[in-house]
Structure 1
Amino acid sequence: MKIIIFCFFVFIVIEQLINIVNACTCLPSTIEEKYCRSDWVALVYPLKREEINKIEILTNNVRYTDKLCYQNKNEEEFIYTASQSAACGAFLEEGDKYLIGGIYNKGKTKKINLCGLVESWFNLSEEIKKDLNEGNFGKNCTK
């Protein structure tokens, strides 16, 4: 009987570890492909990062308060992502500038992930920046 209980315990532990080590995997794609797959795209400055929905350690979400770079007003908006990179959560460094794109989740909530468009503005080529500024980027999108 002790062996059955021990085996059951080991099985439960291994099953939980398998759930924990699942990692985010993304198909390789270009910035333009990520741009085309996005429901929305914005150039933002992350101002604040806060964890929300602290129910379980693996289901936390992170909410970033961002300032849109192209707005003159002092309006801020929220962008959501998973809190862990294993769940494809994106990490935005506060004070950096990012070109991000994502999906609308549950209505108007903006959500991003590692497989989507999350690029530091300073790492983009001058050609991409020029095309974005002139409205020529993503002209080949099919949707």
Structure 2
Amino acid sequence: MMSKSVGLALLVLAGVISSVTACSCIPQSEKDLFCKADFAIAFKAKDNGRVDCDTRVYQVELLRMYRTVPFKNLDTDKIYTANDSAACGVTFTAGEFYVISGYYNETAGQPTRMQAHLCALNLQMPYDPRLIYIPPNCDAPVPENGYGYLLQ
């Protein structure tokens, strides 16, 4: 009987630990994810990313910058994200198109980095987003369903 109790306690503890380390996002509309971020861009991934410690770095072709806050010395050839989805890292695939939002990471003496995050806007597109994606108007009210910005 004691071993069953210990086993159950360990299972519960394992569940608590894994839920603490998992990425968790507050639900937001597409407009909020787009408008409240430091930037929103369209790009094509050039590779599947390389791991550098706990960060994954993707080489990208920047297609359009839809919005941005002021920054200095931006590196537009790379997107940085956590290496693990449990740490809210995003996975991009070479040759695919994306529209994302994110935040800037400024470190003294280095170019400003574009950081992608699982809780930000992350849309994979079937082809060049410049042809099909209409960004939300950050000054207009959110549509009833919170989405609806793709051309039909």
Shorter-normalised TM-score: what interval? 0.5 to 0.7
- Structure-to-structure mapping, 1:18-57, within 5 angstroms: 18=17, 22-48=21-47, 49-53=49-53
Structure 2 counterpart of 1:118, one-letter code? N
**How many angstroms apart in 1 are the aligned matches of 2:57 and 2:19?**
22
The answer to whether the 8 A contact 1:65-1:76 is kept is: no
1:92 partner SS: coil
1:69 partner SS: strand
Determine the structure 2 residue equivalent to 1:11.
none
Determine the structure 2 residue equivalent to 1:61.
55
**How many angstroms apart in 2 are the aligned matches of 1:111 and 1:76?**
11
| Identity across matched positions, percent | 26
Report the CA distance shift for 1:70/1:26 in structure 2 as closer, same or farther (over 3 A).
closer
Report the CA distance shift for 1:98/1:21 in structure 2 as closer, same or farther (over 3 A).
same
Report the CA distance shift for 1:34/1:97 in structure 2 as closer, same or farther (over 3 A).
same
- Structure-to-structure mapping, 1:93-104, within 5 angstroms: 93-104=93-104
TM-score, normalisation: structure 2:
0.62
Query: Matched residue pairs, number?
Result: 111
Report the CA distance shift for 1:83/1:30 in structure 2 as closer, same or farther (over 3 A).
same
Determine the structure 2 residue equivalent to 1:116.
120
**How many angstroms apart in 1 are the aligned matches of 2:126 and 2:26?**
23
Structure 2 unaligned regions, length at least 5? 1-12, 66-74, 142-152
Note the C-alpha offset of 1:109. 1.1
Note the C-alpha offset of 1:102. 0.6
**How many angstroms apart in 2 are the aligned matches of 1:96 and 1:137?**
25
The CA deviation string for residues 17-54 of structure 1, in whole angstroms up to 9 with x for no partner, is 9379610010111111100121111100011211012x
RMSD over aligned CA atoms reads 3.0
**How many angstroms apart in 1 are the aligned matches of 2:98 and 2:137?**
16
The CA deviation string for residues 66-112 of structure 1, in whole angstroms up to 9 with x for no partner, is 001249xxx96111000100000001111110001110112411101
Of Structure 1 and Structure 2, the greater helix share is in 1
